Amino acid sequence: MSVFSENFLWGGAVAANQVEGAYNIDGKGLSTSDLLPNGLFGEIVERTDKNSSLKDNGIDFYNLYPEDIKLFAEMGFKVLRTSIAWTRIFPNGDEKHPNKDGLDFYDHLFDEMLKYGIQPLITLSHFEMPMGIINKYGGWKNRKTIELFENYAVTVFDRYKNKVKLWLTFNEINIALHEPFTGVGLARNSSRQEIFQALHHQLVASARVVKHCHNIIEGSKIGNMVAAGLVYPLSCNPADVVQAMVQNREWLFFNDVQARGTYPSYMTRYFTENNISLEITEQDRIDLAETVDFLSFSYYMSGCATADENKKIQERGNILNMVPNPHLPASDWGWQIDPDGLRVLLNTLYDLYQKPLFIVENGLGAKDNLHSDGTICDDYRIEYLKAHIQQIKESIKDGVDVMGYTCWGPIDLISAGTAQMSKRYGFIYVDRTDNGEGSLTRMKKKSFDWYKKVIESNGEIL
């Protein structure tokens, strides 16, 4: 018998802005992602016909999704995580009526998944929001954005209530602390006061939407999503241990609010010491009390924390402020590989919140070699995923309630951080280069059959 439950949700995860392309087709409006041709941490550019980006066409999932979903079904996916591009539904964010073409597109997409028995797991906002809201209302610093987001969420809940039962509110909600433009639609030089106020609005919006989801969709489950920036103390010096505790709270804090329904007490101290004073209404407190059904997170790597200023070398991964761990190898992009960290993480989150956990992103971004005979031997990817799934197994044995695992990028896509095609995560290779050349043909990598077996054996054969 497998350690994984019979209904364990195996699958993969992608995001609209990294696969769909069709950035200005069928009435779609401009989003923050469209102004970041070089990725999350790249320059914010004014959008003109001249500055195109790989994301404009992505991997053309907008047109090729039937082929891709068929391949996911062949691997036996039970679930596919993707996001709805808010700007396909409300191009500027504040229209009275939704865009019919956008709604139709997702209807077809979800039908295609359901045809194969693949459950959609849908993120409402994955690294994109309408530029219309930023230009007119100033992004999430304006309370009005809560209402606009609710309206968008209610529209899609109503529309897809018979097709989609699993939802996530904001992807990596803690990204705003590192990249406020993508996170909350604010300028990069915004103060901590402005960012935390915008985040407060986002947390309230998330909680309100959780309530709408429960009211509108029978049998629904909705979770939050945080980038797990797990850090260990660099040494057993107590000062490093304290520093690691403080740094871990930077991302745990979001789980505290979304799973417990209130701000944790340590944030009071943080806000006081940093002269941050949030406007929190009585109604906000009531709204925040509506908590998520499960906690979800991305996990790619861990890092270390130290109190020693001289050792605080900052490595840029998808989470900042991490000091490299001398015991761990790293990926081609310098992300340190730590399967044991996943067990630490799952146990920590379960001990703290006692809610089901869903690993909605994990994977290895690597350069793949396409041989002349059309094969791609990505043993390194198999090794990475195998080691991580092994640690999920250990965690389940520890008693942790894990709902599912959707590894990141089951098909090659445009990377979020650097907007590259060459940073490949997939079981399926896509013929496209960083220059945008290529036929977009899909090809199975060695890992394709491996993951198929993992799912078939419910995690027994790794």
- Residue among 196, 315, 303 at smallest CA distance from 243: 303
Q: Within 85-191, where are the H helices?
A: 86-89, 100-115, 131-137, 144-160, 180-184
Closer residue to ligand BG6, CB minimum distance, 4 or 297 = 297
Q: How far apart are CA 156 and CA 133, in angstroms?
A: 18
Q: How many binding residues for ligand BG6 (CB under 6 A)?
A: 16
| The two three-digit tokens of residue 165, written as one number | 């039962």
3-state secondary structure of 221: strand
Q: Does 85 bind ligand BG6 (CB under 6 A)?
A: no
Closer residue to ligand BG6, CB minimum distance, 15 or 323 = 15
Q: Does 20 bind ligand BG6 (CB under 6 A)?
A: no
Largest CA distance in the chain: 65
- The residue nearest ligand BG6 at its CB is 417
Closer residue to ligand BG6, CB minimum distance, 123 or 142 = 123
For ligand BG6, which residue of 141, 355, 423, 444 counts as binding (CB under 6 A)? 423
Contact 369, 385 (CB under 8 A): no
Q: Are strands 442-444 and 428-430 parallel, antiparallel or unpaired?
A: antiparallel
3-state secondary structure of 282: helix
What is the torsional sign of CA 316, 169, 12, 346? positive
Closer residue to ligand BG6, CB minimum distance, 12 or 365 = 365
Q: How far apart are CA 407 and CA 42, in angstroms?
A: 25
Give me the least distance between CB of 416 and ligand BG6, in Å please: 4
- Residue among 165, 9, 15 at smallest CA distance from 76: 9
Q: Does 34 bind ligand BG6 (CB under 6 A)?
A: no
- DSSP-assigned letters across all residues of 284-311: HHHHHTS--SEEEEE-S--EEE-S-GGG
- Residue among 126, 78, 92 at smallest CA distance from 414: 126
Closer residue to ligand BG6, CB minimum distance, 142 or 298 = 298
For ligand BG6, which residue of 9, 15, 292, 301 counts as binding (CB under 6 A)? 15
Stretch that binds ligand BG6, among 2-10, 241-249, 256-264, 412-420 (CB under 6 A): 412-420
Burial 288-324 (b: 16+ CB within 10 A, else e): bebbbbbbbbbbbbbbbbbbeeeeeeebebbbebbbb
Inter-CA distances, 312 with 118, 306, 326, 373, Å: 44, 7, 13, 46
Q: Does 202 bind ligand BG6 (CB under 6 A)?
A: no
For ligand BG6, which residue of 76, 93, 339, 417 counts as binding (CB under 6 A)? 417
Stretch that binds ligand BG6, among 55-63, 146-154, 242-250, 413-421 (CB under 6 A): 413-421
Q: Within 138-237, where are the H helices?
A: 144-160, 180-184, 192-216
Binding residues for ligand BG6 restricted to 300-339, rule: CB under 6 A:
318
Give me the least distance between CB of 252 and ligand BG6, in Å please: 17
Closer residue to ligand BG6, CB minimum distance, 319 or 396 = 319
Q: x/- site string to ligand BG6, residues 113 to 152, per CB under 6 A?
A: --------------x-------------------------
Q: Does 426 bind ligand BG6 (CB under 6 A)?
A: no
Q: x/- site string to ligand BG6, residues 361 to 400, per CB under 6 A?
A: x---x-----------------------------------
Q: How far is Cα of residue 396 from the mean position of the Cα atoms in its chain?
A: 23
Q: How far apart are CA 251 and CA 322, in angstroms?
A: 13
Closer residue to ligand BG6, CB minimum distance, 197 or 206 = 206
Give me the least distance between CB of 298 and ligand BG6, in Å please: 5
Closer residue to ligand BG6, CB minimum distance, 54 or 396 = 54
Give me the least distance between CB of 275 and ligand BG6, in Å please: 30
Q: Does 87 bind ligand BG6 (CB under 6 A)?
A: no
| Local structure of residue 167 (DSSP, 8 states) | E
For ligand BG6, which residue of 298, 331, 336, 395 counts as binding (CB under 6 A)? 298
For ligand BG6, which residue of 149, 160, 408, 429 counts as binding (CB under 6 A)? 408
Binding residues for ligand BG6 restricted to 158-197, rule: CB under 6 A:
171-172
Query: For binding to ligand BG6 (CB under 6 A), which residues are involved?
Result: 15, 18, 127, 171-172, 227, 298, 318, 361, 365, 408, 415-418, 423
